[in-house]
C-alpha cells in the first residue's frame, strides 16, 4: 500500500480562490494507484475546482500536487496528462466531428510511440465500442458518449483517472454498467489506475469507492471508508444543512 | 513515423488516388479537347485549388479562421518573381535591388521551393506569437497580418516596386505543371491530415480544453499546422506568379481572402476534397458569369456592363449554402474514403 | 512641438477617436450579445453615405440627409439580421462570420451595379471647412462638430443602457445570453434592439465619416470596419465600454505615430498600429479590459 501511495496522486494543502471567494482551503488528499476514491460535497463545495487544479486546467494559489515523485504543481495540463493524469468532464467534451476510433486514437497518440492501430483496436474492444468505431462521436447515444470519454482518457495510460460526475444523465441500467466498468478498470492488468470520482448519486459513490473524501465550502470535513463517512456528524450536517439528498 | 496510424494513412492514400484520378481525367479531357480557352480555365482552376487546399491545411484542421494566408500567397509570388525575372528586366524595374537578387535567375522548381521557404520563414516569425493566442484572438491577429503584409508589399519599393507591381516573369506553368502541382499539394495536405499532429489539431478544433487534458500541446500543434499551411501557400503563390506573369500588391488583399475562404466554406472546411469541390463550384459560377459581367444582349434587351456580378453571385451562393448546408457541400467527408 | 500644434493634434485625436469609438461600440454591441463578428457593419456606413448622396443630390439639406442616413442604417441593420443571421442563430462562429462577410460583399456589389463603381461626391456645408481662431490657436470646425456629435451620441447611449429597462436587458444579454434568456428577456427583441443600436451608431459615425471625406464609394465601409475591429480588439472583445476606450486609444496611437514617424515611414502607420494591436493581443488575449464572462469548465 505504501508503495502504491508513492506512485499515486498527492495533493498537499491546496488552496484556490476566485476573486475573493475561497473555493479550496488547504485541501490534502492522497489517491494511491489501484484504489477508487470518491469526492463528495454539496454544490459549490469545490469538488470540480479540485479536479481542475489537479489536472492543470486551473492554477492553484498555494499548496503542491505530486504524482509519484514528480512535483506537477503549476505544469500545463498537457504536460500533466502526458505524465499520467487523465480526466473526464461534467459536460461531455468529446471531439464530436471525429470518429470514435479517432477520439481514442488522439489520446493514444499523445503518449504512445508505436503500434497505434492495434492499441486503438484493443481499447475499443475492451470497452465494447468496436461496433461504433466509424461513427462520429457527436452522433452516439448519450450513454455511449460517457463510455467513450472514459476510454479516450484511458488511452493516455494514466496512473490516475479523474472522473467528474460520470453517471450524470445515465439511467439506472447504464449507471450499473458504468459502475461495473469502473470496478473492472481498477483491477485491469493493462489499464489499472487510481481513480478520483465526483458524483451526486451518493448511493453509487458509496458502493463504488474504497475511500471517500468530503468537501464543504472548500474545506475537508471528513475522509475515510464509506460506512464511516456516512455516519460522520459533519457530513450529515453539511448535507442536511444544504437540504440536498438525504444520506440513504 | 512510428506513432502514425497506418489505418488513417491508408484512408488518406485512397482519397489522394481518387482525387488525383479525377483531376487527371479533367486535365486530360481538356487537353484532348484542345481548346485554348478551356486549357486556360483548367490551368487557372488547378492553381486555384493549390491555394484553397493549402489554406485548408490550417483553417480546416485547426478550426481557426485565418485572414492572413493570402499574405503567404503574396510572399510566395514575390519570391518566385524575384527568382525568375531575367536580370535585364530587373535592372529596369528594380534598379535598387541588391546585387545577389539582381543576378539570380532560377527555374520553376527552385522558384516554387523558394516561395515555400520564404513563406515558411514569415509564418515562423508570425506563428511564434500567433499560436500562443486564444482561438478568436488569433483569428483577429491574422487579419492584422494581412493588412501589415499588404502595407509592406505596397511600400517596399526596392523589392516589390510598390503599388505598380512586378512584371516580366517567365511563363513556367502549363496545364501539366499546374496539374502536377495540385496533385502534390493535395498529397501533402492529406498526409498532414493523417499525421498525429493533424489529428491532434483536429481534436483541438473540436474541444481545445479536452484536447489539452489528453496530452495535446495546443501551441505546438497549431504552430506546426500554421507553418505547413504557410509554406504550402507560399508554393501556391509561386506557381500562380509563374502563370500570371505580372501582378501587384492589391492581388493579395481582402477580395482574394474572401474568395479563397469562401471556396473553403462552400466545399466544407474540414475536408481536403471539399477545398477542391469549392474551388470547382466557384470557378464554374465565375466562368459562367464572367461573360455577362462585360454586358450582353438578351433578345431585345441590351444589358449594360455589370461590374462585380461574379462576386455578388459567389456571395449569394455562400449565403444559400450556409443556410441550407452550414457545414459546406462535403462537410467533413473526403471522397473515396469511408472514415 | 508648439502648444498650438499640440492642442490641434489633441483635438484631431479626440475627434477621430470619437468616430472610432462609435464604430467600435456598434460592432461590440452585436458581438457581445450574439458572439458574432459582423463584417457587414462597415456596409451600414456605406448605406448612410449613399442615402446622403441621393438626398443631397436631390437638393435636400445636409442635416435632413444626415438624419435620413442614420434612419436607413438603423433599418438596414435590423433587416440584415432578420434575413441573413436569424436563420443561422445556432451556427458556429465561423459560419456567422462568413455569412456577414457575404452580406458585406452583396451590399457592396449591389451598389456597384445599381449606382456606380466610381466615387460620387457629397457636397458638405461650407462651414465644415472653416477654422476658428483663438489668438494663435486654430481649431477646425469639423473636428469640433465631430467631437460634439460623437460625445453626445455616446452619452445618450450610456444613459439608455444604464437608465432604461431595455438598456438593462441589453447589458444582461451582453454578460450572459443564456442567463438573460432564463430571466425572461425576449431573445429576438433584444437581438433586434442590439442590431438597431449598432446600425444607429454606424449611421452617426457614417455621417461624420462622409463629412470628412466628401465622397462615397462602394467599398467605403472597409476602413471603418477595420478601425472598429482593431478598436474592439484593443478594448476587449464583448466589452462595450472597452470598445469605446479602444477607439480613443487607436486614434491617439495613429495621430501620435503620424506626428512621430519620419516621413518615409508614414505609409506604414497602419501597420505599426496593427503591430501594437498584435502585441496587446499577445500579452492580453482578452484585450485591455477583459469581458466579464468566463468560460465554465
> From first to last of its 248 residues, what are the pLDDT tens digits of chain A?
455 456 799 999 999 988 778 889 999 999 999 899 999 988 888 999 999 999 999 999 999 999 998 999 999 999 999 999 999 999 999 999 999 999 999 999 888 777 889 999 999 999 999 999 999 999 999 999 999 999 999 999 999 999 999 988 888 898 888 889 998 898 888 888 999 999 888 888 888 899 999 998 899 998 999 988 888 888 888 776 655 454 44
Mark which residues 202-241 of A lie under 8 Å from C by CB. Answer: none
pLDDT for residue C181 is more than 70:
no
Dihedral (Cα; A97, A102, A106, A107), 10-degree rounding: 110
User: What structural domains and CATH numbers belong to chain A?
Assistant: 33-52+75-247 (3.40.50.300)
Q: Which of A144-153, B46-55, B216-225, C117-126 has the lowest mean pLDDT?
A: C117-126
Please report, for chain B, the start and end positions of each structural domain, with discontinuous segments joined by +: 6-249
Which whole number is the average pLDDT over C242-256?
89
Q: How far does the CA of residue C177 sit from the closest CA of chain A (Å)?
A: 19
Question: By CB neighbour count within 10 A (0-12 exposed, 13-18 middle, 19+ buried), where does A191 fall?
Answer: buried
Is the Cβ pair C237, B136 closer than 8 Å?
yes
Mark which residues 179-208 of C lie under 8 Å from B by CB. Answer: none
Which whole number is the average pLDDT over C230-242?
79
Q: How far does the CA of residue C27 sit from the closest CA of chain B (Å)?
A: 14
> Which residues share a beta bridge with C121?
C215
pLDDT band of residue C26 (cuts 50, 70, 90) is: very high
A41 and A232 in contact (C-beta within 8 Å)?
A: no
Comparing A222 with C281, the larger pLDDT belongs to A222
- Rounded to 5°, the CA angle C163-C165-C167 comes to 65
pLDDT of A65 reads: 95
Q: In this structure, are strands A9-18 and A62-67 parallel, antiparallel, or unpaired?
A: antiparallel
Q: Which of A37-41, A59-63, B155-159, C183-187 has the lowest mean pLDDT?
A: C183-187
Mark which residues 265-284 of B lie under 8 Å from A by CB. Answer: 270
Q: Of B7, B210, B339, which has the smallest distance from its Cβ to A117's Cβ?
A: B7
User: Which residue is closest to C218 within chain B, CA to CA?
Assistant: B308
Give B32-86 pLDDT, tens digit per residue: 998 999 999 999 999 999 999 999 999 999 999 899 999 999 999 999 999 999 9
C93: Cβ–Cβ under 8 A, 6 or more apart, which residues?
B136, C35, C36, C37
Q: Of A57, A103, A117, which has the smallest distance from its Cβ to B213's Cβ?
A: A57
pLDDT of C114 reads: 86
Sheet of strand A160-164: strand arrangement: A85-87, A160-164, A194-198, A36-40, A211-216, A219-224
pLDDT for residue C107 is more than 60:
yes
pLDDT band of residue C295 (cuts 50, 70, 90) is: very low
Interface of C with A (CB under 8 A): 297
Q: How far does the CA of residue A213 sit from the closest CA of chain C (Å)?
A: 22
Does the model's pTM come out above 0.90? Answer: no
C32: Cβ–Cβ under 8 A, 6 or more apart, which residues?
C173, C174, C238, C239, C240, C291
**Touching chains, B (3+ CB pairs < 8 A):** A, C
Largest CA distance in chain A: 53
Q: What ipTM is given for this predicted complex?
A: 0.90
Q: What is the mean pLDDT of chain C?
A: 84
Amino acid at each position: 500500500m505504501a508503495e502504491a501511495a508513492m506512485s499515486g496522486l498527492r495533493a498537499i494543502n491546496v488552496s484556490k480562490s476566485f476573486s475573493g471567494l475561497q473555493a479550496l482551503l488547504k485541501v490534502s488528499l492522497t489517491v494511491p494507484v489501484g484504489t477508487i476514491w470518491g469526492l463528495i460535497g454539496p454544490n459549490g463545495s469545490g469538488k470540480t475546482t479540485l479536479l481542475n487544479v489537479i489536472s492543470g486546467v486551473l492554477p492553484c494559489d498555494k499548496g503542491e500536487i505530486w504524482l509519484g515523485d514528480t512535483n506537477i504543481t503549476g505544469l500545463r495540463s498537457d504536460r500533466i496528462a502526458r505524465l499520467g493524469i487523465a480526466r473526464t468532464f461534467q459536460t461531455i467534451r468529446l471531439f464530436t466531428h471525429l470518429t470514435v476510433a479517432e477520439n481514442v486514437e488522439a489520446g493514444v497518440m499523445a503518449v504512445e510511440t508505436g503500434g497505434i492501430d492495434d492499441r486503438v483496436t484493443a481499447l475499443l474492444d475492451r470497452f465494447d465500442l468496436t461496433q461504433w468505431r466509424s461513427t462520429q462521436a457527436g452522433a452516439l447515444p448519450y450513454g455511449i458518449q460517457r463510455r467513450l470519454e472514459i476510454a479516450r482518457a484511458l488511452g493516455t495510460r494514466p496512473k490516475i483517472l479523474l472522473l467528474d460526475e460520470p453517471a450524470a444523465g445515465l439511467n439506472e441500467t447504464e449507471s450499473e454498467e458504468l459502475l461495473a466498468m469502473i470496478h473492472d478498470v481498477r483491477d485491469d492488468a493493462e489499464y489499472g489506475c487510481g481513480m478520483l470520482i465526483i458524483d451526486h448519486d451518493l448511493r453509487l459513490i458509496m458502493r463504488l469507492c474504497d475511500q471517500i473524501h468530503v468537501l464543504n465550502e472548500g474545506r475537508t470535513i471528513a475522509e475515510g471508508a464509506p460506512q464511516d463517512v456516512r455516519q460522520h456528524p459533519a457530513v450529515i450536517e453539511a448535507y442536511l444543512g444544504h437540504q440536498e439528498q438525504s444520506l440513504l | 513515423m512510428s506513432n502514425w496510424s497506418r489505418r488513417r494513412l491508408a484512408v488518406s492514400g485512397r482519397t489522394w488516388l481518387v482525387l488525383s484520378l479525377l483531376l487527371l481525367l479533367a486535365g486530360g479531357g481538356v487537353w484532348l479537347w484542345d481548346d485554348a480557352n478551356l486549357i486556360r480555365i483548367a490551368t487557372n482552376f488547378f492553381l486555384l485549388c493549390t491555394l484553397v487546399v493549402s489554406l485548408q491545411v490550417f483553417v480546416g484542421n485547426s478550426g481557426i479562421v485565418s485572414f492572413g494566408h493570402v499574405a503567404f500567397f503574396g510572399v510566395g509570388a514575390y519570391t518566385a518573381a524575384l527568382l525568375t525575372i531575367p536580370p535585364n528586366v530587373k535592372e529596369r524595374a528594380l534598379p535598387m535591388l541588391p546585387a545577389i537578387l539582381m543576378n539570380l535567375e532560377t527555374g520553376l522548381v527552385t522558384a516554387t521551393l523558394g516561395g515555400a521557404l520564404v513563406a515558411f520563414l514569415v509564418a515562423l516569425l508570425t506563428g511564434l506569437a500567433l499560436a500562443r493566442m486564444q482561438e478568436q484572438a488569433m483569428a483577429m491577429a491574422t487579419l492584422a497580418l494581412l493588412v501589415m503584409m499588404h502595407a509592406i508589399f505596397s511600400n517596399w519599393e526596392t523589392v516589390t516596386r510598390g503599388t505598380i507591381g512586378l512584371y516580366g516573369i517567365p511563363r513556367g506553368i502549363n496545364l501539366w505543371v499546374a496539374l502536377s502541382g495540385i496533385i502534390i499539394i493535395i498529397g501533402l495536405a492529406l498526409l498532414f491530415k493523417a499525421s498525429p499532429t493533424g489529428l491532434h489539431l483536429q481534436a483541438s478544433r473540436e474541444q481545445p480544453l479536452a484536447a489539452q487534458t489528453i496530452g495535446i500541446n495546443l501551441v505546438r500543434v497549431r504552430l506546426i499546422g500554421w507553418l505547413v499551411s504557410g509554406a504550402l501557400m507560399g508554393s501556391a503563390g509561386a506557381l500562380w506568379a509563374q502563370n500570371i506573369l505580372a501582378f501587384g500588391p492589391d492581388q493579395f488583399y481582402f477580395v482574394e481572402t474572401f474568395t479563397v475562404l469562401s471556396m473553403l466554406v462552400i466545399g466544407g472546411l474540414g475536408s481536403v476534397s471539399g477545398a477542391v469541390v469549392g474551388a470547382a463550384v466557384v470557378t464554374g459560377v465565375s466562368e459562367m458569369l464572367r461573360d455577362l459581367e462585360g454586358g450582353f444582349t438578351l433578345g431585345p434587351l441590351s444589358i449594360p456592363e455589370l461590374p462585380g456580378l461574379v462576386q455578388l453571385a459567389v456571395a449569394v451562393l455562400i449565403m444559400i449554402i450556409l443556410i441550407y448546408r452550414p457545414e459546406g457541400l462535403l462537410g467533413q467527408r473526403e471522397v473515396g474514403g469511408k472514415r | 512641438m508648439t502648444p498650438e500644434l499640440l492642442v490641434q493634434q489633441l483635438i484631431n485625436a479626440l475627434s477621430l477617436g470619437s468616430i472610432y469609438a462609435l464604430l467600435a461600440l456598434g460592432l461590440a454591441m452585436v458581438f457581445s450579445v450574439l458572439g458574432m463578428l459582423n463584417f457587414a457593419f462597415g456596409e451600414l456606413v456605406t448605406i448612410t453615405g449613399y442615402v446622403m448622396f441621393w438626398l443631397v443630390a436631390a437638393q435636400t439639406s445636409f442635416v435632413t440627409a444626415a438624419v435620413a442616413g442614420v434612419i436607413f442604417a438603423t433599418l438596414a441593420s435590423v433587416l440584415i439580421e432578420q434575413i441573413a443571421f436569424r436563420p443561422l442563430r445556432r451556427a458556429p462562429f465561423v459560419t456567422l462570420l462568413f455569412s456577414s462577410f457575404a452580406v458585406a460583399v452583396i451590399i457592396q456589389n449591389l451598389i456597384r451595379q445599381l449606382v456606380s463603381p466610381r466615387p460620387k461626391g457629397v457636397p458638405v456645408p461650407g462651414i465644415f471647412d472653416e477654422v476658428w481662431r483663438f489668438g494663435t490657436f486654430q481649431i477646425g470646425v469639423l473636428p469640433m462638430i465631430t467631437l460634439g456629435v460623437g460625445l453626445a451620441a455616446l452619452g445618450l447611449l450610456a444613459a439608455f443602457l444604464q437608465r432604461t429597462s431595455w438598456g438593462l436587458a441589453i447589458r444582461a444579454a451582453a454578460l450572459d445570453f443564456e442567463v438573460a434568456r432564463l430571466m425572461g428577456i425576449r431573445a429576438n427583441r433584444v437581438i433586434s434592439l442590439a442590431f438597431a443600436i449598432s446600425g444607429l451608431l454606424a449611421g452617426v459615425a457614417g455621417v461624420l465619416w462622409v463629412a470628412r471625406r466628401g465622397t462615397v464609394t462602394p467599398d467605403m465601409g472597409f476602413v471603418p470596419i477595420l478601425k472598429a475591429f482593431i478598436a474592439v480588439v484593443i478594448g476587449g472583445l464583448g466589452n462595450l465600454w472597452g470598445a469605446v476606450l479602444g477607439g480613443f486609444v487607436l486614434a491617439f496611437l495613429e495621430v501620435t505615430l503620424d506626428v512621430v514617424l519620419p516621413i518615409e515611414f508614414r505609409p506604414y502607420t497602419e501597420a505599426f498600429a496593427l503591430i501594437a494591436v498584435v502585441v496587446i493581443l499577445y500579452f492580453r488575449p482578452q484585450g485591455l479590459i477583459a469581458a466579464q464572462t468566463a468560460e465554465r469548465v
